[in-house]
């Protein structure tokens, strides 16, 4: 259930890595972000390099990363790490799929007429979306600074159906 694809997992890892490198370069050195290459990130996490490359491509196309080709090229964050949510990353990689399996690109599924649980599930969907929206890349780096607005801290989250 609710399986988050490995690609999205890798993507989040890569984003976190880039954010770390960026803040580290901004504080210690004064140079601009050094545009980590896909291969570097892949080796840092021991994941298939070419697969990560494709993920980064997707992320770049989605506007979350900027790519720089050529020697010493690579990727760097398009926005601040504090300004990118986990939801954006996941949606960029896994597409706009949602839990109800009815919400497809073609609009309604063939059961739309007699499906009785569509609305409640949509609410659940929205809640999960909000949950993910409350998580920023910067939160992944330092778990202590999680923002208190998202009830991520282990509290029971209730939704009104």
Alpha-carbon distance 96 to 87, whole Å?
A: 10
Sequence-ordered alpha helix ranges (H) in 28-157: 38-45, 49-61, 86-94, 118-133, 137-141
CB of 147 to ligand FES, least distance (A): 23
Cα angle vertex 82, ends 64, 138, to 5°?
Answer: 100
Site string for a copy of itself, 80-99 (x = CB under 8 A): ------x---xx-xxxxxxx
Three-class SS state of 69: coil
DSSP-based helix, strand, coil % in the chain, nearest 5? 50, 10, 40
Contact between 112 and ligand FES per CB under 6 A = yes
Question: Which of a copy of itself, ligand FES, DNA, none has residue 45 at its interface (CB below 5 to 8 Å by kind)?
Answer: a copy of itself
Choices 31-39, 74-82, 108-116, 130-138 (CB under 6 A): range interacting with ligand FES: 108-116
3-state secondary structure of 122: helix
Which residues would be at the binding site for DNA (CB under 7 A)?
3, 5-7, 37-39, 47-48, 50-51, 53-54, 56-57, 60-61, 67-75, 94-95, 97, 101
Which residues would be at the binding site for ligand FES (CB under 6 A)?
9, 100-102, 109, 111-112, 115, 118
């Amino acid at each position: 259930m609710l399986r988050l694809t490995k690609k999205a997992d890798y993507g989040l890892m890569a984003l976190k890595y880039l954010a770390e490198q960026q803040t580290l370069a901004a504080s210690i050195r004064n140079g601009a972000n050094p545009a980590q290459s896909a291969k570097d990130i892949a080796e840092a996490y021991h994941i298939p390099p070419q697969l990560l490359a494709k993920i980064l491509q997707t992320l770049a196309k989605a506007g979350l990363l900027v790519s720089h080709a050529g020697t010493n090229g690579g990727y760097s964050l398009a926005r601040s790490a504090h300004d990118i949510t986990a939801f954006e990353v996941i949606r960029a990689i896994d597409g706009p799929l949602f839990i109800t399996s009815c919400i497809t690109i073609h609009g309604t599924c063939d059961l739309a007429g007699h499906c009785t649980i569509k609305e409640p599930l949509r609410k659940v969907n929205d809640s999960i979306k909000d949950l993910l929206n409350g998580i920023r890349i910067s939160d992944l780096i330092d778990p202590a600074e999680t923002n208190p607005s998202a009830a991520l801290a282990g509290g029971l989250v209730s939704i009104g159906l």
